[in-house]
A = this chain, B = another copy of it.
Amino acid sequence: MAGPVASDAVTDAVQQSDELDVVGIGNALVDVLTHEADAFVEANDLERGAMTLIDMDRAESLYAAMGQGIEASGGSAANTIAGIAGFGGRAAYIGRVRDDQLGTVFAHDLRSIGVTFRCAPATDGPPTGRCLIVVTPDAQRTMSTYLGASELLGADDVDGDLIAAAQVTYLEGYLFDRPEAQEAYWKASRMAHEAGRRVGLTLSDTFCVERHKQAWRLLVTDQVDVLFANESEALALYDVSTLDDVVAHVRADVEIAAITRGARGSLVVHGDELIEIAARPVPSVVDTTGAGDLYAAGFLFGLTNGRALDACGRLGSMAASAVLGHTGARPSTSLAQAARALAL
């Protein structure tokens, strides 16, 4: 992390900015979601529950195999940013689309909810990226991503004004598969810290962590202040086998860590503090797509708006629950209202 921050500074930092709560950087994607039987995952050789990068040919053949779907703006960090805007937070996003119909949809869905999204769409090159998401009856989502134009993101896209204006620069682990993006992350992190800001990161995917473990550890140790990971990702990052080991590691590495555990809730680690947060019950879990992204949204909204860490965790659980009951990664109901109803 950038340097130790005293415990009581957690909420103090939030009053400093009159500009942005969070700027997110990630793969700008439109999701194509279908519900399929379990057999579909095996028949099409998909890695259940994971995110796999695919090329255009594979995207076309997989799409042809999928049943009717819905399209919805996605991208992990973009979902988080949309969630923060849904709480009434001030947020911006950096990511690349093309000047095509899906790119128009992606940009609209951010701007229409008040998110600052300045990146001009590419006028040539690959089309807007898409994530083909197969939701199985257990509500698990299996993702195959054709990056398309989102792959164009590099260090030049890191908008220093937005980074300097945002209390937290939030980075999505999925992007970490590409060297240009890793370079962009280092640049953004250094800019954020030079401006006296925090850096947040989500590990995103166990396979992605395994592919770049050393690069991840370096970034986490050196630059990350607020770390999001689910249990498997955290275990993979540190090559350990128990949650206690994870806690010891993140305590040493980052200011704040939020370890999500699905239906078992989450664990927030902050110095010597260890806060257990219950998952918020959902009448019927339809699709887990975006649940982790929205947890980060609630948490970061709370953190950048003066809430105590346990309230941040509860805002995260609430936001995650708001997308579990429907198909798609972004809530269709008001997070701000839901937070008020829970006195959060």
Contact = CB atoms under 8 A, between A and B. Distances in A.
Interface of A: 32, 35, 63-73, 82, 100-102, 105, 108-110, 112-113, 127, 326-328, 330, 332-333
Contact of A72 (B65, B71, B82, B333): B71
B70 A70 contact: yes
Contact of A63 (B100, B108, B330): B108
A65 to B, nearest CB: 8
Q: Which of A63, A64, A73, A101 is most buried by chain B, counting CB atoms within 10 A of its CB? A: A101
Copies in the complex: 2
A70 B328 contact: yes
Contacts of A72: 69-71
Contacts of A102: 101
Given A100-B101, A101-B101, A327-B332, A73 B68 contact: yes
Given A68-B82, A70-B71, A127 B101 contact: yes
Contact of A68 (B63, B69, B326, B330): B330
15 contacts: A32-B105, A65-B112, A66-B108, A66-B112, A67-B113, A68-B108, A68-B112, A68-B330, A69-B105, A69-B109, A70-B71, A70-B328, A71-B71, A71-B72, A326-B326
Listed from nearest, the 5 A-B pairs whose CB atoms lie closest are: A71-B71, A68-B109, A101-B101, A70-B72, A67-B112
Contacts of A326: 326-327
Contacts of A68: 73, 82, 108-110, 112-113, 330
A324 to B, nearest CB: 13
A101 B30 CA distance: 12
Contacts of A64: 108, 112
A34 B170 CA distance: 27
Nearest to A104: B63
A286 to B, nearest CB: 8
Contacts of A32: 105
A114 to B, nearest CB: 9
Most chain-B CB neighbours within 10 Å: which of A65, A71, A105? A71
A71 B32 CA distance: 9
Contacts of A63: 108
Nearest to A284: B283
A328 B108 CA distance: 19
A288 to B, nearest CB: 15
